[in-house]
Amino acid sequence: MPTLGVNIDHVATVRQARRTDEPDPVWAAVEAQLAGASCITFHLREDRRHIIDRDVPLLKGVVNVKLNMEMAIAPDVVAIAVETRPDQCCLVPEKREEVTTEGGLDVVKMRDKLKGVVSKLRDVGSVCSAFIEPDPAQIEAAAALGFEVVELWTGGYAHAANPEARVIELEKLDRGIAFAEGCGLRVHGGHGLTYRNIGPVAGLSGFEEFNIGHSIMARAMFVGVRTATAEMVALLDQHGSKE
Ligand code: PXP
């Protein structure tokens, strides 16, 4: 049964719109945990546009489910991860001009740069996850680099233009899961998942965790973080593969 990681970055985005102290993403992490989230995910971006350094030790202190830090390989961010020792570090691509993470990390191209970072993070006890597209070459490279988990980019599925394209993307994810498992990797998924599109992807056998941010926080504006999280947990219980 897949579990839910709630990405709290959007709460910090609202706070940073005014550079004030509310709403606090740490409060959101507590609410999400109370509703049954199995993981709290945050992304400390190089430009600190949402999560800021102050949030990181506070999250480490209050999160008693899995803490997942999304990060690029910027040296100052890696240093904070090493000091914080999150349960899991998910390495993602990052571009300053993007609105959100726009696709998977090119593990093949970045092999040399990633190697040292993965071993540093593993040395402090963090599980390393690579956010990649469901492409065999990327999956194979992630396994060879010592990643233990791959988070497959579900954006292709989420943004598919029509039902036929969506089926093709779902099949790509299904093959990606099988290939990753064959390489000895555990498989997570994330990006663009919503209350409306989670069903079919949750039904694929092999996804252990989904990291979801935008849709949960958008709903939380009206029903609160606790209810929004509980509703997504219920959908995973309903549609999640029992295999
Ligand atoms: N997983 C990763 C690695 C991401 O970068 C993001 C976006 O921050 C998410 C999951 C969540 O995506 P969304 O906000 O579209 O649910």
Q: Which of 201, 205, 208, 100 lies closest to 154 in space, CA to CA?
A: 201
Is there an atom of ligand 1 within 6 Å of 214 CB? yes
Is there an atom of ligand 1 within 6 Å of 241 CB? no
Q: Is the pLDDT of residue 97 over 80?
A: no
Bridge partners for 233 per DSSP: none
Most informative mutation of 7, 50, 153, 215 for ligand 1 (most atoms within 8 A of CB): 7
Q: Which domain holds residue 7?
A: 3-239
Mean pLDDT of 84-109: 87
Mean pLDDT of the chain: 96
Stated as kind and residue range, the H or E segment containing 69 is: strand 66-71
Task: Confirm whether 94 is a catalytic residue.
Answer: no
Q: Which of 87, 75, 81 lies closest to 39 in space, CA to CA?
A: 87
Is there an atom of ligand 1 within 6 Å of 212 CB? yes
Angle at the Cα of 220 (from 216 to 226), degrees rounded to 5? Answer: 90
Q: How far is residue 37's CA from residue 173's CA, in Å, rounded to a whole number?
A: 23
Is there an atom of ligand 1 within 6 Å of 92 CB? yes
The string of pLDDT tens digits covering residues 121-165 is 999 999 999 999 999 999 999 999 999 999 999 999 999 999 999
**What pLDDT, on the 0 to 100 scale, is given for residue 233?**
98
Task: Confirm whether 97 is a catalytic residue.
Answer: no
Measured in Å, residue 178 CA sits from the centre of ligand 1 at: 22
φ and ψ at 190, to 5 degrees?
180, 155
Angle at the Cα of 73 (from 69 to 79), degrees rounded to 5? Answer: 70
Is there an atom of ligand 1 within 6 Å of 206 CB? no
Counted domains in the chain: 1
On whether the CB atoms of residues 212 and 8 are closer than 8 A, the answer is: no
**What pLDDT, on the 0 to 100 scale, is given for residue 101?**
67
Q: Is the pLDDT of residue 74 over 70?
A: yes
Q: How far is residue 190's CA from residue 1's CA, in Å, rounded to a whole number?
A: 16
Task: Confirm whether 191 is a catalytic residue.
Answer: yes
CATH number at residue 88: 3.20.20.70
Bridge partners for 71 per DSSP: 91
Mean pLDDT of 192-197: 98
For the CA atoms of 116, 122, 127, 130, the dihedral, rounded to the nearest 10 degrees, stands at 10
